Amino acid sequence: MRRAFISPAKYVQGENEILNLGYFIKTFGESALLIASKDDAARVKDKLVHTMKEYGVTIVESGFNGECSRQEVARLQQLAKEHNCACTIGLGGGKAIDAAKCVAEGEALIIVPTIAATDAPTSHSAVLYTPEGEFDDYAYFKQSPSVVLIDTTVIANAPTRFLVAGMGDALSTYFEARATAKSYSNVNAGLPCGRIEGVGEPAKGTKAALALAKLCYETLLEDGYKAKLASDANIVTPALENIIETNILLSGLGFESGGLAAAHAIHNGLTALEGAHHFFHGEKVAFTTIVQLVLENAHKEELDEVLGFCVSVGLPVCLADIGVHEVTREELMNVAVKACIPEESIHSMPFPVTPDDVVGAMIVADQLGQQFKARI
């Protein structure tokens, strides 16, 4: 059986860590292209100036337009070439990070998240959009980022909602990896969607990935609420440090090397419900994790544990919590059909899943969430 595990070459996390960014640039050369929104670049401007002086490097600002499109990627690659940049820095949220991955194409890439809202910073994939912001395609690269650099002081000063959303994304990691392991399904660490030539055959997950995914869940239960309080106060505590690592590193390694299953597929189906569009990825994944547990007929104790965690940190547990206050069975079926298309990860569940199964699980999960909130 072929197994695969993928990870960044280096992960570094600490207070004011951006002050050391120049050291990592220096390992590649004398200059780097910075891909970041104006606001994100301004938030850390003093640290960027300090690290350039400290390590004698140049950081070239790119004027990133905010959209990870093919056109913007081509412009940024040309800019990097004109300035002879030795590496690429993706600083900020998802689209800046994805644009940096596309520009670097798997080489000399430093990722510096300013929020801990998803597990995308460690991955070797990106999402491309049109210049108008509509989904275009997925992109996969031969390896994960060279360096993932986390400044916990910056993340502690970001709105807490981002951190909580990251916990929602991380919440699904263990349950999806567990399902993938039971079904012996392929994982993204192998050959993702057959889009990379010469990489080899698809691969199954490793025991290491499943163990990290389980640690991800255990750390959420142990430190999630305490980390939320620290974020509310904009201070770095051991609990916040643990949850930042959980949201970004443990969840990132867990999802790519452990596998995705029903939770993320049903999340993707939720694009059919307009009311859910204004909620973050991880907020919706928290609810769809409960849906997956219903599909699995999980023990009541496990369901209650997940529901209790979500309520404690402010994650959604029912459809109303993600903006869906009224919904018809036909609308839910549209979600379910999207979730069950042949290429979706729902087929990594250890049993066949039909759109009817998904509709039923969403209805029951919604009721469970409502009833749990009414009891507390």
pLDDT at 200 over 60: no
How far is the C-alpha of 297 from the C-alpha of 303, rounded, in Å?
A: 9
CATH 1.20.1090.10 placement within the chain: 160-375
What would the two tokens of residue 109 be?
């890439």
The closest of 9, 34, 32, 224 to 114, measured between CA atoms, is 34
Helix or strand (DSSP H, E) at 267? helix 262-269
Phi, psi of 89 (to 5 degrees): -115, 125
pLDDT at 376 over 90: no
What sections of 105-206 are H helices per DSSP? 152-156, 160-183
264 is catalytic: yes
What would the two tokens of residue 96 be?
């800046």
pLDDT in tens, 229-252: 999 999 999 999 999 999 999 999
307 to 273, 315, 316: CA distances (angstroms): 23, 9, 9
pLDDT in tens, 88-144: 999 999 999 999 999 999 999 999 999 999 999 999 999 999 998 878 888 999 999
One-letter identity of residue 313: V
**What CATH topology corresponds to 160-375?**
Dehydroquinate synthase-like, alpha domain (1.20.1090)
100 to 36, 137, 162, 252: CA distances (angstroms): 9, 16, 21, 17
The active-site residue out of 40, 124, 223, 264 is 264
β-pairing, 10-14 vs 147-151, is parallel
Quick one: pLDDT at residue 193? 43
pLDDT at 195 over 50: no
205 CB-contact burial (10 Å; exposed 0-12 / middle 13-18 / buried 19+): buried
Check whether 97 is labelled as a binding-site residue: yes
Q: Is the dihedral of CA 98, 147, 283, 342 positive or negative?
A: positive
pLDDT at 51 over 50: yes
The active-site residue out of 169, 223, 321, 357 is 169
Check whether 136 is labelled as a binding-site residue: no
How far is the C-alpha of 322 from the C-alpha of 365, rounded, in Å?
A: 13
The active-site residue out of 223, 281, 357, 366 is 281
How far is the C-alpha of 209 from the C-alpha of 221, rounded, in Å?
A: 19
How far is the C-alpha of 51 from the C-alpha of 297, rounded, in Å?
A: 52
281 is catalytic: yes
The closest of 365, 354, 352 to 294, measured between CA atoms, is 365
CATH 3.40.50.1970 placement within the chain: 10-156
pLDDT band at 197 (very low <50, low <70, confident <90, very high): very low
Question: Taking the CA of residue 190 as centre, how many other CA atoms within 13 Å lie in the half-sphere pointing to its CB?
Answer: 18
Check whether 98 is labelled as a binding-site residue: yes
Largest CA distance in the chain: 62
The active-site residue out of 40, 124, 267, 366 is 267
Check whether 264 is labelled as a binding-site residue: yes
Class of domain 10-156: alpha beta
* Mean pLDDT, range 23-49, rounded to an integer: 97
pLDDT at 315 over 80: yes
Q: Name which residue leads in pLDDT, 10 or 192.
A: 10
With b for 16 or more beta-carbon neighbours within 10 A and e for fewer, the 268-306 pattern comes to bbbebbebbeebbbbbbbbbbbbbbbbbbebeeeebeeb
267 is catalytic: yes
pLDDT at 54 over 50: yes
pLDDT at 352 over 60: yes
Residue partners of 312: CB distance under 8 A and separation at least 6: 224, 225
Helix or strand (DSSP H, E) at 14? strand 10-14
> CA-based angle 78:80:81, to the nearest 5?
65
Check whether 347 is labelled as a binding-site residue: no
266 to 120, 140, 335: CA distances (angstroms): 18, 22, 7
366 is catalytic: no
pLDDT at 336 over 80: yes
345 CB-contact burial (10 Å; exposed 0-12 / middle 13-18 / buried 19+): buried
Is 295 within 8 Å of 361 (Cβ atoms)? Answer: yes
Check whether 125 is labelled as a binding-site residue: no
What would the two tokens of residue 330 be?
């036909």
